[in-house]
Structure 1
Amino acid sequence: MEPLAAQAADVDFSTWALFARATPIVQITMLMLVVASIWGWAIIIQKTVNYRAARRASARFDRAFWSGEPLDELYDQIADAPSCAAERVFAAGMTEWRRSHRDDGALIPGAQARIERAMDVAIAREAERLNGGLSFLATVGATAPFVGLFGTVWGIKHAFEQIAIAQNTSLAVVAPGIAEALLATALGLLAAIPAVIFYNKLTADSDRIVGGYESFADEFSTILSRQLDA
């Protein structure tokens, strides 16, 4: 047993060595998982930064909106280049509000419904922008373990073929092939676990941000409704 153990100990089990010894199909599978993991982390970092910026921008706009400044003046300041989602929702509502006035100052019938639809469309655009890329995280979280399992099954198949050719079931023959195969599953889990965790977190964050836009739209609609009734 000692010669076999010594022979197994001489085998390089580092990650790079396991990858280099793997079959081309398993190597391609591992590369796909690594790329998916890197891409997923890029989306996670980008969305985290974007969501924080969106929350800060919304808080800044809320302070300006409720500062007591006339809404027409606030609209004139941001109408040409809204800098955040909250400003774009507000601008959509105010734009429709102004378009609903006739030359004589009277309102075109149905103004309230049109203003609400305009803000709903703006919110839907912002929600689509916020959720962009999250579907990739969901796909990686759902499929990466199975892709890694495919690589493992293929690698084990190759390992058994090598055992049959060598007609030797010693540790030195079996261990490298099994280790190479299991590396694919490890990479699949490495890609899937963060993707699932952050998909759930980022989806919840996005829902809260969009909920804030919807609440603002309701409050703004209420303000306009009072002016319409007056």
Structure 2
Amino acid sequence: MCWGIFIAKLIYLNKSKREGRALLVKLLNSHNLKMAEQGLTQEPSTAKLLIQACLHELNLSSNNATTSDALKERVAARLDRVKAELSADMNKGTGVLATIGSVAPFVGLFGTVWGIMNSFISIAKTQTTNLAVVAPGIAEALLATALGLVAAIPAVVMYNYFSRSITAYKSQLLDTVTVIMTILSRDLSAKDTQAKPLEQLIDYQQIKAAGK
């Protein structure tokens, strides 16, 4: 079960992270939402649900009058909800690994106690401590201990690995949400009648020269 979860989860996680990186690069190179939307493919992608959620909220909001701040709040709320759902979906299966890693040693310990108990029963029946009498029960005890460790150790290692990888995936989703909100804010500023050119807000030329 551990190895089945590990292989399936590893493929799904790596695929999602790869698609998420590609979308993030696309968004970073997009000047507006229309440009970002044009680059979307028809192939399913988990991270793509974020930009689709943003566009869906914009379509719903287009039927009524709204303000920039209210629109940003609605889009941010929808993106947070999608991000939470994607994070929860990615965590599926890791709980099984944690349970196996915690419980398996105790199952092995129970088998150890059972095997030793059988050895004592054999001693009581035969009234002798001959190795041939004790050995079968001890062998059962050692086998049960080994099986518990064989199940527990990989489960703990896999769980720790996925914990780090899923944390990185969540960070990637957060970066995507931030970029989407940045693009949306840029689009709204372009339509704002009170917006001013960048040169009137900050000394952009000086900053540009310093950057060179």
Mapped contact 2:123–2:129 kept (Cα < 8 A): yes
**Counterpart in the other structure of 2:110:** 150
| TM-score, length basis structure 2 | 0.81
1:110 maps to: 70
Is 1:84 the equivalent of 2:45? yes
Q: 1:115 to 1:68 in 2, by over 3 A?
A: closer
Distance in 2 separating the partners of 1:226 and 1:68: 11
Which residue does the alignment assign to 2:200? none
- The 8 Å contact of residues 33 and 187 in structure 2, kept in 1 or not, is answered as no
Secondary structure of the structure 2 residue equivalent to 1:206: helix
Deviation at 1:78, TM superposition (A): 4.5
Residue of structure 1 aligned with 2:135, choices 175, 183, 198: 175
2:32/2:183 contact within 8 Å kept: no
Q: Match for 1:56 among 2, 18, 21?
A: 18
Equivalent position of 2:167 in the other structure: 207
Q: How many residues align?
A: 189
- Note the alpha carbon deviations across 1:148-174, whole angstroms, 9 max, x for none: 101111121111101110112111211
RMSD, aligned α-carbons: 2.1
Offset of 1:77 from its aligned partner?
6.6
* Letter of the structure 2 residue corresponding to residue 203 of structure 1: S
Does residue 227 (structure 1) correspond to residue 187 (structure 2)? The answer is yes
- 1:30 maps to what in 2? none
The answer to whether 1:136 aligns with 2:96 is: yes
8 Å contact from structure 1 (residues 82, 91) kept in 2? no
What TM-score, normalized to structure 1?
0.75
In the alignment, residue 129 of structure 1 is paired with which amino acid? D
User: How far has the Cα of 1:76 moved from its partner?
Assistant: 6.1
Match of 1:33 in 2: none
- Tell me the amino acid that sits aligned with residue 54 of structure 1: S
Match of 1:124 among 84, 102, 119: 84
Q: CA deviation at 1:223?
A: 2.0
- Secondary structure at the residue paired with 1:110? helix
Q: Which ranges of structure 1 fall in alignment gaps of 5 or more residues?
A: 1-38
Q: What is the SS of the residue equivalent to 1:85?
A: coil
CA distance in 2, matches of 1:47, 1:182: 32
Identity %: 38
Q: What is the letter of the counterpart of residue 16 of structure 2? A: A
Q: Structure with the greater relative contact order (CA < 8 A, sep ≥ 6): 1 or 2?
A: 1
Distance in 2 (CA, whole Å) between partners of 1:74 and 1:225 is 14
Indicate conservation of the 8 Å contact 2:27/2:179, yes or no. no
